[in-house]
Structure 1
Amino acid sequence: MSETTTRPASAQADAQNARDGADNAAPASAGGLVSIGGNYQVDPKRSLPVYDMPGAKAYVAQSNSEPGKKYFALVSIGPMPVRLPILQALVGLTNANFIKLVHSGIVVWPGDSEQRVIMIFREPGGARLTGPDGRCTAWSYDQVCNRLIRPVIGVLRDLEARNIFHGAIRTSNMFLPSDPAEGIVLGDCASSPAGYYQPVLNETLQRGLADASGRGKGGTSDDLYALGVAIITLIQGEPPLSGLSDPQIVDRKLTQGSFYALVQKQKMPTPLLEPLRGLLNDDPHERWELEDLESWLGGRRLSPRPPEPPRRAVRPFEFGDHEAWEARGLARILSTNAATAYDLYHKGEVEAWMRRALGEKNITEIVVGELQASGTGSRIQREPAVVVARCGIAMAPDGPIRMNGRAIYPSGFGTALTEAFVNKRDPAPIAQMLIAGLPGNWNSIQKKHKIEPFSPPMDLEFARNLLERRGFGFGVERVLYELDDSVPCLSPMLDKHYVLTPMDLLRALERMAPTKSRHGKPIDAHIAAFLMVRFRKLEDWLLKALNDEIDPGRGVIAMAQILGSMQERLGNKKLPGIAKWIVVMADPAIDRLHNHKPRQKTKQRIEELAEQGMITPIAQALDDPSMMNQDEHQYGKAQAKFARIVDEIAKLEDEIGDPTILAKGFGRELAAVVSGILGTFGISAVIGYYFLGTF
């Protein structure tokens, strides 16, 4: 990617562009430098910790065309993937207050020889505003307005125009500019999933209730909330609620509301209270937008409505070691023990507390309705964990879906599955939430409460259907790639390859073929699922053949047809390694032939074709209709001949055994000898004719 390229029309195009320099990349160029894109070089021996990000390490970089300018590289170290769909748009974005991405690509990184995503940035000029602890010299009101708020508004304008959520606005991800009088430079937002490493303090109340991987798609409103937290941090010289754990911070926000929890004990300049009320409003539809903040900077006073604190019960609901004072907090603690919570729901204790202690009549009726509906639902809908999850959604409609110890918004399931797979954790608890239809339930509850959800509704019914289908190309692997367009193919066999596109896959398989062909097949569950999403031209009928458990030979042919189709559509580049890999595993397909000579001929033919490196001719040779028909015809003739021989032996045995023809004793002895000879001859004739081709 370069600064002059235009933005692709699809995420797949972004992924292909991200591969720039990967295919011919050597681990290092002269002098130990890693080359990328022909113009940039990275020095893997010179790290720059000041620019490190949670999912990436920084190194010194240089440009061949602009040797006088300072650059650095962020090298992805995972395990979470880079935000590939936004890279191209960021390359095309130039704003003095946003760190400049000039190029990105994939190279073989020295040391571990893994393919890694590298992003080249211009150095911002100064150090970070704060360290991870958020402490710094306090800023004045004027400094906050001119060097923080005004620049960030401009950056968010540019990001919003490109439909990009930053997700990492915090003082530790802001840099001082070269000129101290200028505004801050906002740091990277692409090296990890949006909001994944954002502290709970900087997240809205709603997003903070979810798992880091389950926060879902954010927007400008969420970035503005984070800006509000940054304002408080710089005015005070430290973050609000310092010393509290993440659960304690969430509890404070739940019981007091974000504005009161974060501002109440702080000495804030009076003029800043107005924008902070707007930015930290827990109702996303009442929260200030960019226009509101710009109007305030221009001198217009908007007098935002003071956020209403959450309705607080007259007494807490006690659950184990926890207690809740409001509905969202209760939904949160009940999800920690579904079996016990299920009993409390059915005994009416939750309903009684909500009516008498909390006074939430409307929410209570919706919860009771969900409880009753579950009693007449399917078996899975009656399971305690599902019932508690549904009631929790009804109780906290703006909260995440909670089940199996997970808390995920509908738009966060893709990242949550990615996190499970890259960390080698069981994805089943997440899949069960989808199978239970909870995202659909979450969507319907929003309508019952007559609210517009802050997190975008997603129709994930298709995901449930995919999970219920077995075999290659379906299941949880398919759902992973359908829901997360940033994730590379996570097949275990791909080892150190970063596979984003079908072309990447062919190249990786070709490189691995000499060693992998001895241990497995070129298509596993992950690769099949990956291709169904990233190679949409793949025919469904090939998947059925790939999953043929009765005829394993059909599966081999299907693999050859799939790889051959990819080869044809992606340029017909010769792939002798993959071709020979298919030959190695072709025996089940060849064994479908009954006659020895056609088998031998087919084996010889595909070995010759493999040397040419073209895959489709091999698939055609393994599934030649004329040869198969001829083989079946000859096989039928052999069966018929065998049946005639068996009949003749039986008839002869009957005649020889007739006492009128031979003496009884001699006849039996002769019958045994003759029938044995004839039986041996008949069977040998059929075997020789059919399997050895000698008759």
Structure 2
Amino acid sequence: MVDVTSGGPPPDDLDTEWVDPMELLRQEQEKMGMAMPEVVDAPVMAPVTFAAEGAADMPALAPLELTSVEQDIDDVAGAAAGIAAAAAATAAAMTGTTSQTAGGVSNEPSMGGIDDDALVTSLRGRYFINVGEPLPEYASANAMAFEAMFRNDRSRPLMALILEPEAQPRYDALEGLRGFAMNGMLKLLDWGVVDWPAGGSRFAIVLERPGGYRVINDLTIPQSGMGDEEIVEGLLRPLLNTLKDLAARGVTHRAIRPTNLFYTDMTRRTMVLGECLTGVPALDQPALFETIESAQAHPAGRGPGTIQNDLYSLGATIVYLLLGRNPVPDKSDDALIREKIEVGSYMALAGQVRVPVSLIEPLRGMLMDDERDRWTVADLDLWLSGRRQSPRQSKLPARASRPFLVGEEECFNVRTLGHAFAVNWQEAVPLVRSRQLDSWLRRSMMEEPKAEALINAVYSTASHVTGRGAEERLVARGCITLDPKGPIRYRGIGVTVDGIGPAMTVALNDADLRQALTEIISARLPIHWVAAQGKPNSEDVRIAQAMEKLPGIIEQQAVGLGFERCLYETNPMMRCLSPMFEREFVVDISEVMPALDRLGQTPDRPDMPYDRHLIGFIAARSRRWSEDLLRPLASPDTIIRAIGLLRLFSYIQENNEVGPVPGFATWMSQMLAPVLDNYHHRARRQRVQAKVQAAAESGILSELLAVIDDLAERQADNYGFHQAREEYRQIEAELTDMETNVDQREDDARMMGEQIAAVIGAVLTCIVTAITFLVLYA
């Protein structure tokens, strides 16, 4: 099982004592004289042996745990009904069917083909998750809920949210909520990657389970409304300290809506906020519960916002709970946004319904459209303490003397016009350039500065952008000028500046969103948006400044650049999504090499220890980064690429105080075998191979690099090779010469023989003559 590093006490040995909760339920009902409802028992599972060190055999978890013998009849009946619903949902899930709900309670994901006998997984050996016991009543849009148990306290009611494979959690919120223990929100206990019984791995988040059920299951089904005292005492007071703590931590919830509230127990007196971690901020929020600007954005691109966004959502949620229904059931999201702009959010949501007098003041304050006028947590605290404040009125946009038409839509102010341009962007292209718009701004709206700003935006875009995307950028710049409070809107897709990063995580599985975000960054629209704000907040300025370098990165497709690099640049808390790290949780650059080292020791490791996600993550997270490290990775030469990769990983090891990684070094040495094959001298090659093996065993990549990239050794080998080749060439030439000049050599030999014979004959003649002379005259 996977073991990921995180905070928390070390695991202790588990107790093996077990009580069947279904049997306990029967006993409790018999004591109260009740007949047991016809509920199909979950199949009894054999004990499952946990892989965590020191863990004992643990029987499977049960679907319900009763903690009090004194539950009343209604509670027991409700619990039994809950069990029946859970059993039905489990059966549906096991067969791959889904259940449809509305208003943020999403489709139930399928179980993914899990067999009944392989149902338990472990998070760090501390929490055990029984995927055979789903808790559909606690499921989220991007995650199924399952029963979980802490190994040191089995009586503690817990649940685990298992994210769908394509979903990404809120990494910043996970860190921000570490140790968060306020009563107004489900407590986060742990998170990480777990083995999934159906194969692969999933991201798991373990939370405390509420004692009661969801307050609202379906926004489309009306029910009895709540009273003002029930709202104040059951929701606002318990939630106040939670909002204070969230604000102090710099964390937003961004998922406050009726379908994400739970009762703390079966008495249904107190409510708590549900989770906000299984998807990007506000991803599942209906437009009804979002500010104008957030509702105008793509659900994935709304961003974390501020605590003021949560207060607005809380105000809209209270309106719904008071009525027990949607206050504007017949309005589309587009129509609701227009009405909020024209009359203000309070009037759009509560203007036509009866609101208790005691709640008018806080609702007006929380539903202010201008964030600067909206109530703060401190204002809510004062009101709950009995200190009444001066009434606040919404500042509505100036209304034109005559409308500006976009198709058949009449726009009486610049914000509705900007919204209409964003929705009907193709029709807006000629209108943005038209004199008609300039005249309307100057004469009907008396907006001389805005008219001049629009002219400048049009001229700037036309001067610097041509070809594909020019018209879309023109409309985007026009929307920013007309409605600077709104999100960046491009080709029908809106994103806030702080929502670009979260949207990129969703865009990994959405080609249209991915293309739109690429063009938004390339067009530098975030920078233009910040420039259009009168007084932008510091966080938006910081994000825009960080994005100044991204256009040059996202337009390139080399490894270490492109969309993947920008994904990690805009999401600094995000884990590395490399497929190699499917079973790892790597969020910091210092964790890369240990993870690769573990992977290098497995038999199923890939041939190459890198991919676009890994290199993009490294480039975005490294300190003192040099783009020169990426250039060798783009080389068509495999040897240059391999040595460049080793140099990159050696840089990471040296600059992040990473210890020896012998598993990865051995992996790299095997990948670098072609480099050693280039050595020509057999003895030298064997000597270098021995050095490589020793360096790999040491796990120090710089030593391995020094051996592999030893210029002097390579030059000596090349010099010796060239010398040997030259000598061989000379010998070969001589042999060739001898073979091709045989006839000439025979003639030369004959001539030389004749010459030698003549000389010998002459010498012999002289000798004979001398002897004859001596004999005759001696």
TM over 0.5: yes
For 1:48, which of 121, 132, 135 is the aligned residue? 135
Write the letter of the residue equivalent to 2:157.
K
Match status 1:529 vs 2:616:
yes
Aligned to 2:22: none
2:352 corresponds to 1:253: no
Question: Secondary structure of 2:416's partner?
Answer: helix
Q: How does 1:299-318 map to 2 (within 5 A)?
A: 299-318=386-405
- 1:464 is matched with which residue? 551
Which residue does 1:175 correspond to in 2?
262
Query: What is the one-letter code of the residue matched to 2:215?
Result: L
1:178-577 equivalences in 2 (<5 Å): 178=265, 180=267, 182-320=269-407, 322-336=409-423, 338=425, 340-377=427-464, 383-423=470-510, 427-446=514-533, 450-452=534-536, 456-457=540-541, 458=543, 459=545, 460-468=547-555, 471-492=558-579, 494=581, 498-502=585-589, 503=591, 506-507=594-595, 510-511=598-599, 520-536=607-623, 540-547=627-634, 549=635, 551-564=637-650, 566=652, 572=659, 574-576=661-663
Q: Equivalences for 1:651-662 in 2 at 5 Å? A: none
Matched-pair contact (CA < 8 Å) for 2:407–2:427: no
Per the normalisation by structure 2, the TM-score is 0.73
Q: Is 2:672 the partner of 1:586?
A: yes
Contact 1:81 1:488 in 2 (8 A): no
Contact 1:97 1:152 survives alignment (8 Å): yes
Aligned mates of 1:108, 1:18 — CA distance in 2: 20
In structure 1, C-alpha distance between the alignment counterparts of 2:517 and 2:503, rounded to whole Å: 8
Q: Measured at CA, do residues 232 and 426 of structure 1 come closer, stay the same or move farther in structure 2, by a change above 3 Å?
A: closer
Whether 1:624 aligns to 2:679 is no
Letter aligned with residue 717 of structure 2: D
CA–CA distance in structure 1, aligned partners of residues 362 and 717 of structure 2: 82
**C-alpha RMSD over aligned residues:** 3.8
| 1:156–1:478 distance in 2 versus 1, CA, 3 Å | same
How far is the alpha carbon of 1:67 from its aligned partner?
Answer: 2.7
**Counterpart residue identity of residue 418, structure 2:** A
Code of the aligned partner of 2:540: P
Higher mean C-alpha deviation, range 503-512 or range 158-167 = 503-512
What is the CA-CA distance between 1:136 and the residue it aligns to? Answer: 3.8
Preserved CA contact (<8 Å) 1:538 1:562? no
1:228: Cα distance to partner? 0.6
> Compared with structure 1, are the counterparts of its residues 45 and 386 closer, same or farther at alpha carbon in structure 2 (3 Å cutoff)?
same
Aligned to 1:62: 149
Shift of 1:260: 1.2
For residues 174 and 140 of structure 1, the distance between their equivalents in structure 2, rounded to whole angstroms, comes to: 16
Paired residues in the alignment total 638
Cα distance, 1:98–1:345 mapped onto 2, change above 3 Å: closer
* Partner Cα separation in structure 2 for residue 145 and residue 644 of structure 1: 101
Supply the distance in 2 between the matched residues of 1:174 and 1:600 (Cα, whole angstroms): 69
CA contact (8 A) 1:202 1:229 kept: yes
Q: CA deviation at 1:251?
A: 2.4
Residue 188 of structure 2 corresponds to: 101
Specify the alignment match of 2:215 in structure 1: 129
Pick aligned residue for 1:75 from 135, 157, 162? 162
Q: Using the alignment, how far apart are the partners of 1:351 and 1:543 within structure 2?
A: 49
Higher relative contact order, chain-length normalized (CA < 8 Å, sep 6+): 1
1:441 CA displacement: 0.9
- Kindly indicate whether residue 633 of structure 2 is the aligned counterpart of residue 633 of structure 1: no
**Range with greater deviation from structure 2 (498-507 or 133-142):** 498-507
Letter paired with 1:511: L
CA–CA distance in structure 1, aligned partners of residues 686 and 406 of structure 2 = 73
Between 1:593-602 and 1:116-125, the stretch displaced more is 593-602
Query: Counterparts of 1:593 and 1:378 in 2: how far apart (Å)?
Result: 53
Which whole-Å deviations, capped at 9, do the CAs of 1:298-319 have from their partners, x for residues lacking one?
3333233311333344544333
Contact 1:70-1:122 at 8 Å conserved across structures: yes
Q: What is the CA distance between 1:580 and its match in structure 2?
A: 4.8
What secondary structure does 1:253 align onto? Answer: helix
Which residue in the other structure is 1:157 paired with? 244
Question: Structure 2 counterpart of 1:546, which letter?
Answer: L
Q: Is this contact kept in 2: 1:217–1:412, CA < 8 A? A: yes
Report how far residue 204 of structure 1 moved: 0.7
For residues 409 and 604 of structure 2, the distance between their equivalents in structure 1, rounded to whole angstroms, comes to 53
Query: SS of the counterpart of 2:304?
Result: coil
* Partner Cα separation in structure 2 for residue 300 and residue 163 of structure 1: 26
* Counterpart Cα distance in 2 of 1:505 and 1:322: 58
Paired with 1:617 and 1:426, the residues of 2 have a C-alpha distance of 45
C-alpha distance in 2 between matches for 1:454 and 1:282: 20
Q: Is contact 1:105–1:119 with CA below 8 Å preserved after alignment?
A: yes
Return closer, same or farther for 1:468/1:63 CA change in 2, 3 Å cut-off: closer
Contact 1:499 1:508 in 2 (8 A): no
Return the TM-score normalized by structure 1.
0.81
Which string of whole-angstrom CA distances, capped at 9 and with x for unpartnered residues, describes residues 91-135 of structure 1? 412222221222333321222231x33222222211111113174
Secondary structure of 1:485 counterpart: coil
Q: More deviation in 472-481 or 153-162?
A: 472-481
1:282 Cα deviation from its structure 2 partner: 0.7
Q: Which amino acid aligns with 1:531?
A: I
Deviates more, 1:378-387 or 1:141-150: 378-387
* 1:379-431, Cα deviation, whole Å (9 max, x unpaired): 58992222221121111101111123321122111111111114466733312
Matched with 1:117 is 203
What do residues 619-673 of structure 1 show as CA deviations (whole Å, max 9, x unaligned)? 33321232122134335546877998999999x99xx9xxxxx9xxx99xxxxxx
> 1:409 touches 1:455 (CA, 8 Å); kept in 2?
no
Structure 2 CA distance for partners of 1:534 and 1:347, relative to 1, 3 Å:
closer
Question: Structure 2: which amino acid aligns with 1:295?
Answer: L
Deviations 1:422-457 (A, max 9, x none): 4466733312211211111111111xxx34459723
Does structure 2 retain, via aligned residues, the 8 Å contact 1:553–1:590? no
Q: Output the amino acid matched with 1:351.
A: D
Distance across 2 between alignment mates of 1:592 and 1:424: 44
8 Å contact kept, 1:312–1:325: yes
Measure, in 1, the Cα distance between the counterparts of 2:669 and 2:662: 13
Q: Partners of 1:308 and 1:190 in 2: how far apart?
A: 34
Contact 1:41 1:61 in 2 (8 A): yes
**Distance change >3 Å, CA 648–CA 33, structure 1 → 2:** closer
Q: Check whether the contact 1:126–1:177 (CA below 8 A) recurs between aligned residues.
A: yes
**Structure 1 residues 341, 158: closer, same or farther in 2, change over 3 A?**
same
Task: Give 1:40's aligned amino acid.
Answer: Y
Higher mean C-alpha displacement, 231-240 vs 340-349: 340-349
What is the one-letter code of the residue matched to 1:633?
Y
Shift of 1:221: 0.6
How far the C-alpha of 1:546 sits from its partner, in A, is 3.0
Distance 2:211 2:369 in 1: 36
For residues 116-174 of structure 1, give each alpha carbon's deviation from its aligned partner in whole angstroms, at most 9, with x where no partner exists. 33222222211111113174421111221222222222210011111110111111111
Identity %: 28
Q: Which amino acid aligns with 2:471?
A: P
Unaligned runs of 5+ in 1: 1-13, 657-661, 668-695
> SS state of the match for residue 42, structure 1?
strand
